[in-house]
Structure 1
Amino acid sequence: MKATISVAMSNYIEAGSIIAIATSLSLWQKEFGIDDFAVGLLAALSANAFGAAAGALIGGPLCDKYGRKFIYTYDLIVYMIGVALAVFAMSYGMLLLAFIITGIAVGAGVPASWTYLSEQAPAGQRAKHVGAAQLAWSCGPLIGFLLAVAVEPLGLLGSRLIFAELFVVAFLTWYMRQGLPETAIWKESNAKATSTNVFHGVRALFSKKANITAIFFLIGVYSFWNIVAGQAGIFMPRVYAAAGVESATEQYLLQALVWGLTVATTYFGFMRLADRFNRRILYIVGSLLGIAAWAVLVFAEPTMPALLSFAVLWGVAAGIGAQAFYGLWASELFATEYRASAQGILFFVARIMVGLLSMVFPILLTSIGLSWLGLILIGFLAVSLVVGAVWAPHTQGKTLQQIEAERYPEDVVAGEPVLDASGLDASGLEARDVEEPVAMKMHF
């Protein structure tokens, strides 16, 4: 349980960083007298986009080469440096540096967390354990927006205090991770490794057709959805303002409602159902709700009932939507030797796409308006819906070893047992040489 919580906290810290930025952008803009492009640059180079993209590209291969535990030893130290700079930022340049450092640390940690949780989880409960990361991620915005409401009267000082809170959480998480065990499946894979090159996994990843098709599938599922979620995460207060909600407190409370529902739906929807209910149907429901949410925002009159409808639909959609399934499928569809590298590359692509739009989002919101910009975002969500609905993989209930053997039959060594979900090989004999995952002993 301690391992699950401390690993999942990477996602809380990532989301908390994004919300700390989102709720402070207007205050920083006023404090330093910067224009909309400079605001977009802060968002684009932060944990929400390019900063996280760079961290993922670095952290993924390091995670595969030196172990999942290796990342957890160092990433939060870098993170604490970044948020400390944000707390004491006295200039635009210092703030930009803080956001970049924080983003790099976040990007390195998140792929490692999904990888670790999936490798430690029993086959029949993998969605439940990977969902813990999504649950923690959802708690980040919920707590972040509630804190923003509480400190809103303090102005920029309140925003600095939110960054200080993230520093404390990061330190406590780093402390909890000391002594964290390495995953058995990575140790077994690493014992067979022959290359000493850090980027060996990246080269091996692109050497197989099965991997390339999985990468395109996951880009379609996650990256297009994340373009929308990324803008909503960091610019939603501005979107609400464009829709007529000028009060910062009301904006933050609407977002707290979104994320409160996301927390509930992640637990009661994804974590409870995705291991035993048809995943394709669950994914389609979440995707359709997301499209419906933005359709309300674009086509309905900007009244409070309409905005509440958006908050409810988008909050529920996010709990059973593309990010939760991405974390699950990205862990299942790649071999152990490059599982984290694959997630690093995918996270890199997703955050680059978010960053490109983030650089101009405030300008587009002002120039073409919410209606036209909203239609573009609905188009991205539609792409994610179609890709996931048509090509959702059949991996439910299978061990990672089984999935790997099915996807890479040419790599299966003759005579080597392939474990099923009960820990037995195809003949029904117990596989005594495989260490029981730590997650088998965990209970939520």
Structure 2
Amino acid sequence: MHDRIIRNVRLLEAQGWQEADLAIDQGRFSAIGKVSEAGKEVFDGEGSFCFPGGVDLHVHFNEPGRAHWEGFSTGSLAAAAGGCTMVAEMPLNSIPSTTSVEALDKKLASIGSKSSVDFSLWGGLVPGNLESIHPLADAGVIAFKAFMSPSGTDDFINSDIATLREGMKRIAPTGKFLALHAEDPAILNPSNQKLSQRKSAFDWEASRPVEAEISAIQIAIELAGETGCPIHIVHVSSAQALDPIIEAKNNGVDISCETCPHYLLLSIEDADRIGPDAKCAPPLRCRYSIDILWKSLENGEIDTIGSDHSPCPPEMKTGLSFYDAWGGISGLQHGLPLLWSQCSENPELLSHLVQLSSSRPAKRAKLGAKGSIEIGKDADFALVDSSMTPKEIRADNLAYKHRASAYCGMQTSFDIRQTWLRGDLIYENGKAICEPSGAFCRAVDNWRR
């Protein structure tokens, strides 16, 4: 007899939706398909679409120190509301930033039992913390993050070439990778000075051209080849920036790349209409760029999708010009459902898109139990209303600490009814239905053997 059975769900295959039952034992999938055995508990999925729990490697919950920007309580609930069951929290914006084991311990103490979903933590690479790289790896950070241009906060300084090179030499033997915010300050700084008196969304986009991404990516690739360190380019905003990544892959460099829902859903013209809630770095691009980025995604040139959920208090956006406002988009709750809605009539593309936000990031980050509906994997999944009734995103339905998002007013055809974590129902119809049960997934590679 199984611990739990979820009957009558529909699993996504490349050819379409297939009816199935799910059996769960000790928090993991134990049978998938037509399950004839009985269960101690049996739930009716009511024909819901069943997606694997999302694995979002790029969130900013800013705890400790700036939990008033978001925090794990609200941020992780928004993840559950958006069908994500695993997040990895970035090392900047918290106080202290996660650049030492002591800071990591403070972060874990602050998070405590607040998280509704499972989580991992990134370590930071900044000037002056090279001696912390190996201790952080031993302590279980999932990977490392560095900025090649200013991060927007003095608590996390961007790395110069020498720091990147030496840091990558130290990261390489740990079995982890280095994620990079890739914009070249040598291109950004003159652009910013030239446009410093301008204030619009278009000025912001012009101040951070695609060429800055391309240049930084090329530098990162050269360093990766020199040091043997795996790298991961986050928030690629344009298909043009993918060209050097594709070439590097063909040349044997261990490199992967991420884009974000907002680069596939919103244009710089939308940002001009929406205002600072749609400000991010790299900035949103033109509508044509979005179309080409979708084609790159379809062609397999993008490896993962992450939300880059980066909220802030309203006073850091409200009443300010686009140029002067804080850059960051709150998108964790609706990014995936909005993307799914874009390809609801194309099951093959939808299946690929789901992999980019679940199994592919899990594989890159060595989260072996996460990211797919398979026997033996953690029973993490979301049940989605199969009626496909469009639903408007409204501020009063947001789970974030501050109820603002660039996606407000948009419509999604995928309404998440339930989210399950390791076989337990944690979210249903807009509410958490149990105490937070998310666990820290410590990434240990035993690299010193």
TM-score for both structures, normalised by structure 1: 0.25
More helix by share: 1
TM-score, reference length from structure 2: 0.25
Between 1 and 2, higher relative CO (CA 8 Å, sep ≥ 6) is seen in: 1
